[in-house]
Chain A
Amino acid sequence: MIYLDNNATTRVAPEVFNAMQPYLTEIFGNPSSTHTLGRQMKQAIDVAREQVAALIGAADTSEIVFTSCGSESDNWAIRGALSAKPDKKHIVTTQVEHEAVRNLCDLLESEGYEITRLGVSENGELDLNSLRDALRHDTALVSIMLANNETGVLFPMEEIGRIVSEKSDAFFHVDGVQAVGKIPIDLKSTEVDMFALSGHKLHAPQGIGALYLRQGIGLQPLIVGGGQESGRRAGTSAVPNIVGLGAACKLANESDVHERIASLRDKLERQILTTISNTLVNGTSAAGKRLPNTSNISFQYVDGQNILLHLDAAGICVSTGSACHSTTREASPTLKAMNVPYTAAQGSIRFSLGRYNTEAEIDRTLSVLPGIIKKLAEMSPY
């Protein structure tokens, strides 16, 4: 099987699995316990916290709080920020956020908050002037992702942070889930207040996430109970998963696969664009402005779900830019916000590469794809 859907989830790395295994077998205990086993668990968590802090450039390990997933981190950051500024009722976000932020903002709107959703250009890029204009004295929170999950387009987190802190006293939360482990991140040199990440996007297991909380920011917990995570997130620590996340961060930090992934992605993208007609890339092609592993390509006039099923039958996993929800099958909000033409949005496919992809796999994909598109194009009524 050729797995080109690493933005959806990733395979647990053997290094991660090996690090976790003892904590799923002989080493067990509740890190809150005072006995030896408990202390061992606590030490393991401390190491993991350092590893996470190192990958994202946190100034201090105390800035890392473990959660159950990226969505929990986003929900906590946003809810927590709002309750810390109870008299401010305005939120600035974008039209292209992941559901965890987008749907929460929709909910908050129904709860009485005013939401400004910044649009993007046809390249998927944010207009920073529109951000400047959106900020107000009653803006409680700015929540803007670092990397778009569908197109891989990066938003300039450093610049956004500067603008937010210059123009308002709002919190700045970043959904960094899709970016962590794929590009260098150094939060201490930014104005980011909160930053969400998720383990399963970088070869840790599903069910573990973290929230970076800049020193000095105290958020009301989302989950109330015991005093774990210095009273910030109740619930018995999931030690094996935490150890796994730490190991995954270490792996991403030390690994030299990033350039190889980028060159494979470039090859895949270039070849598709040159060998298959009516194709275009969704998202900017400017260097450094897109995740090096992601390529969202529209095969115009054919159906994306059809392409996906044919690739799947050939043992290749990708995803589409339109999801079938019972009776509707609409283009994703991201592609809509980018004004991608209808027939292009319906035929969009996201290829997202990872550390285990080989050149042979990319070549195989490039060899089966033209035949699939040709067959579907012959069937196209357009």
Chain B
Amino acid sequence: MNQESISQHFFAPRNVGDAHEPSFIGRAASLRCGASSRMSLQIGEANNIIEAKFKAAGCNVLVASLSKLTELVQDKTTAEAATIGQDEDLLLNALGGLEPDRFSCTTLARETLLRAVRAYSDAARSEWIGDQALICTCFCVSERTIEETIHDCGLMTVTEVTRACYAGGGCGSCHQLIQEMIDSFGVRRPGAALVSPSEDV
């Protein structure tokens, strides 16, 4: 098992610190592991990551994972960064493999990244000025598109929406909004009973 990369990143972590403003911050902590981490992303006009930085107090694997992630997401779009943040194997491979009992340390690092991307998505959504309200900032999917997709295909879950139009496939910050849309439309699938929000609770 090649631990080289973990120790390289641990002893000489890349991108320690805070990204330049305007930046978006993700924080994660695990009481169980006694670890705390934050990642800050500076993001450009084209949803591209200009700068990724981290800080952490936790084990060597957490530090190495965050260091590696900041390298992996450099110059990527936020949607790509979110995909990287969801991919356990990608990070494990990038670190040259790891004992299974240390996987959770890499999970915390990925969660930190995902939260930073979500912070960006939330902010970008509320600042969006276009004729269409934007729901999924990662994949730039508008409210109208999602609405139509739900209606036309009779979709009932966020996963189905993601499969149909990408919305929700990135950082996940739009999942609740998509769920609310599914609930409030009370869509009917051919042959299925009407689902309304009141019955949902």
Contact = CB atoms under 8 A, between A and B. Distances in A.
Interface residues of B, number: 23
Nearest to A347: B57
B24 to A, nearest CB: 15
Given A313-B11, A326-B101, A327-B101, A379 B57 contact: yes
A302 B35 contact: no
Interface size class of A (residues with CB under 8 A): 20 to 34
B10 A309 contact: yes
Interface stretch (B26-34, B127-135, B182-190): B26-34
B77 to A, nearest CB: 26
A343 B35 CA distance: 9
Given A309-B10, A381-B27, A324 B32 contact: no
A307 to B, nearest CB: 11
A380 interface: yes
Interface in B28-81: 31-38, 55-60, 63
Nearest to A324: B59
B34 A329 contact: yes
Contacts of A324: 59
A228 interface: no
B38 to A, nearest CB: 5
Contacts of A381: 27, 36-38, 55-57
B13 interface: yes
Given A326-B101, A381-B37, A305 B32 contact: no
B16 interface: yes
B106 to A, nearest CB: 12
A309 B60 CA distance: 8
Interface string B103-121: 0100000000000000000
A380 B101 CA distance: 24
Interface in A332-382: 342-343, 345-347, 376, 378-382
Contacts of A301: 57
Contact of A331 (B10, B34, B35, B56): B34
Interface of A: 301-303, 305-306, 309-310, 313, 322, 324, 326-331, 342-343, 345-347, 376, 378-382
Closest 10 CB pairs of A and B: A326-B101, A381-B55, A346-B34, A381-B38, A328-B32, A329-B33, A303-B57, A329-B34, A379-B16, A380-B57
Interface of B: 10-11, 13, 16-17, 27, 31-38, 55-60, 63, 101, 104
